Amino acid sequence: MLALRVDNSTNAMSEIQKQDAVLIVGMGKTGLSCARFLLARGIAVHVVDDRVNPPALAALRQLLPDSVLSTGAFVSDDFLSCASMIVSPGISMQTPAIQQALAQGVEVIGDIELFARHVDAPVIAISGSNGKSTVTALVSEMARKAGLDVRTGGNYGTPALDLLSEAAPDLYVLELSSFQLEATSSLNACAAVVLNISPDHMDRYSSEEAYLAAKLRCYQGDGIKIINRDEPCLSDVNSEGDVQRGFTLKSPQQEEYGLRDYDGELWLVCGDEKLLAAKSMRLAGRHNLANGLAALALAEAAGIQKDAVLQVLMSFGGLPHRTQWVANHHGVDWFNDSKGTNVGATLAAIKSMDCKLVLIAGGIAKDADFSPLRTALSDNGRAVVLIGRDADAIEAALQGVCLVFHASDMADAVGIAQQQARSGDCVLLSPACASFDMFSGYEERGQVFMDAVRGLA
């Protein structure tokens, strides 16, 4: 059993009292998990959502037949009459009703903060702009391979509070978004990492600095901080008494993780210790070498056996919708990277391709700057096929770089891509955008793409 690093007796914020009605803001997967958690502890709840027909409304009605469930435009009185409030990550903390409640002294937290106050085993916390799900899955599989009882969730898979429904495991592994972290103050992970930072969610944050500040909340507490030494805005994360381990795609310092060349062969190393030949990893692309190094550092910090860690790095083939190979048609390889919902993720996917490519992109831009795609596509881009609401913004950024086409839907995009691609090329779906203008989420977008590819003649 790993050493527990959580003290539930001392929380910076007051505990939610059973006699108080708690306001849950948001009727999605997170809001439903909060309602289940509080109901099991006999705490009265009132649930609101500014959507008319939110996704978990029917489930909440069944779960809470005697509770007030309010949909549609927020009502200020709901927010001011509660003693405590739990805000789902999809709801901005800048929402006027929430800001008004904060000004009136209402306690406002998120589900991860509630989790942090009740967690009963060590936690590994994983955040960053890209690669979070891959590293979360890697570390979870490493722990299982070592014989540990591990529960995985947060922004990936199961909501964090649902992980607390059974006896304590050996370890929790949580993927955490900036939205979740900005409402969290008590998390004390045994090991934490912010993998990387690239501009994202600029429709929600006032600046890149505000986005970074939210991500850095992953490093609260006195656990081991895993630092990406290649990220200037992360490399100087420091406070007195910190225990840090770094990783880099360059030659590392002693006791840190990186890459070294031995007789023309690239190796993952810790200091001068050879751990694994890079070619032995099933995950492709330089960005996945960084993911592997981060997972190595997290696993060491959590005391996971090294032989189990290395076995998983050699066998783990990646997650669906993350640069996932789909098919080869007439010499063209098709890849599904629907999880590429921001420019940084799409850049990483493009750089992992060692061929001429046709890129399918587009959706909801989230006020992103698409200009970095120009350089990446100037080297190996054959064509770009655009879909979705903000296709024109991407086209404007790519003027003169390569051929640009507009498609009416995903099937049309796949058809155009097939016409443009040549034998030896790759077609890559990596939208650099959110999906909610056309799909229920990136999973549906990726599945529709794969269905269309598999239907090609």
For 59, the token pair is 């489930």
The strands making up 403-406's β-sheet, listed across from edge to edge, are 324-329, 332-336, 426-429, 357-361, 381-386, 403-406
Residue 130 lies in a domain: yes
Q: How far apart are CA 3 and CA 133, in angstroms?
A: 25
The CATH number assigned to the domain holding 206 equals 3.40.1190.10
pLDDT score of 7:
34
| 129 — pLDDT class (breaks 50, 70, 90) | confident
**In 10 A of CB 242, how many CB atoms?**
13
Nearest residue to 357 via CA among 337, 334, 323:
334
Q: How far apart are CA 355 and CA 421, in angstroms?
A: 11
pLDDT score of 173:
98
Same domain, 128 and 91: no
Same domain, 72 and 176: no
Rounded mean pLDDT, 93-97: 93
Nearest residue to 450 via CA among 306, 308, 287, 335:
335
Q: What is the pLDDT of residues 433-447, one digit of tens each?
A: 999 999 999 999 999
| 206 — pLDDT class (breaks 50, 70, 90) | confident
Supply the DSSP symbol for 448: H
* CB-facing half-sphere around the CA of 292: CA atoms within 13 A: 32
Q: How far apart are CA 268 and CA 22, in angstroms?
A: 49
Residue 273 lies in a domain: yes
* Cβ(172)–Cβ(119) below 8 Å: yes
| 228 — pLDDT class (breaks 50, 70, 90) | very high
Sign (positive or negative) of CA dihedral 227, 230, 234, 240: positive
Same domain, 183 and 285: yes
Pairing of strands 403-406, 381-386: parallel
Residue 303 has pLDDT above 50, yes or no: yes
Average pLDDT, the chain: 90
DSSP 3-state assignment of 355? coil
Same domain, 341 and 278: no
Same domain, 300 and 398: no
Q: What is the pLDDT of residues 377-404, one digit of tens each?
A: 998 999 999 999 999 999 999 999 999 9
Amino acid at 14: S
**In 10 A of CB 102, how many CB atoms?**
14
Active site residue 155: yes
pLDDT score of 14:
38
Residue that finishes a domain, picked among 57, 86, 109: 109
* Cβ(192)–Cβ(136) below 8 Å: no
Same domain, 99 and 142: no
Q: How far apart are CA 448 and CA 337, in angstroms?
A: 12
Q: How far apart are CA 429 and CA 413, in angstroms?
A: 10
**In 10 A of CB 80, how many CB atoms?**
15
Residue that finishes a domain, picked among 109, 125, 141: 109
* Cβ(138)–Cβ(322) below 8 Å: no
Strand ranges, E, within 271-331: 273-277, 324-329
Residue 4 lies in a domain: no
Active site residue 196: no
Nearest residue to 348 via CA among 124, 127, 134:
134
| 286 — pLDDT class (breaks 50, 70, 90) | confident
Number of domains in the chain: 3
pLDDT: which is higher, 15 or 39? 39
* Cβ(287)–Cβ(351) below 8 Å: yes
**In 10 A of CB 63, how many CB atoms?**
16
* Cβ(108)–Cβ(87) below 8 Å: yes
Q: How many residues does the chain have?
A: 457
Residue 292 has pLDDT above 70, yes or no: yes
* Cβ(184)–Cβ(86) below 8 Å: no
For 226, the token pair is 């895993």
Nearest residue to 429 via CA among 402, 409, 410:
410
Q: What is the pLDDT of residues 41-69, one digit of tens each?
A: 999 999 999 999 999 999 999 999 999 99
Catalytic residue among 29, 46, 132, 339, which?
132
Same domain, 282 and 353: no
Residue 271 lies in a domain: yes
Same domain, 165 and 185: yes
**In 10 A of CB 77, how many CB atoms?**
9
388 vs 46, 234, 289, CA distance in Å?
36, 33, 32
How many contiguous H segments (helices) and E segments (strands) does the chain have?
A: 16, 20
Residue that finishes a domain, picked among 66, 83, 109: 109
Angle between helices 111-118 and 29-39 (to 10 degrees): 40
Catalytic residue among 201, 215, 225, 287, which?
201
pLDDT score of 201:
63
pLDDT score of 352:
82
Q: What is the pLDDT of residues 234-273, one digit of tens each?
A: 877 766 668 899 999 999 999 999 999 999 999 999 999 9
* Cβ(94)–Cβ(144) below 8 Å: no
| 1 — pLDDT class (breaks 50, 70, 90) | very low
Residue 176 lies in a domain: yes
Percentage of the chain beyond pLDDT 70 is 94
150: left (phi over 0), alpha (psi -120 to 50) or beta: beta
Catalytic residue among 155, 196, 288, 336, which?
155
Q: Name the phi and psi angles at 217, rounded to 5.
A: -65, -15
- Domain region containing 79: 22-109
State the Rg of the chain over Cα: 23
pLDDT score of 202:
61
Same domain, 231 and 357: no
Nearest residue to 337 via CA among 450, 429, 257:
429
Residue 10 lies in a domain: no
Same domain, 361 and 302: no
Same domain, 252 and 366: no
Residue 442 lies in a domain: yes
pLDDT score of 217:
93
The CATH number assigned to the domain holding 387 equals 3.90.190.20
Active site residue 291: no
> Comparing 1-10, 30-39, 78-87, 272-281, which segment has the lowest mean pLDDT?
1-10
Nearest residue to 336 via CA among 451, 171, 231, 219:
451
Rounded mean pLDDT, 274-285: 90
Residue 15 lies in a domain: no
Same domain, 183 and 291: yes
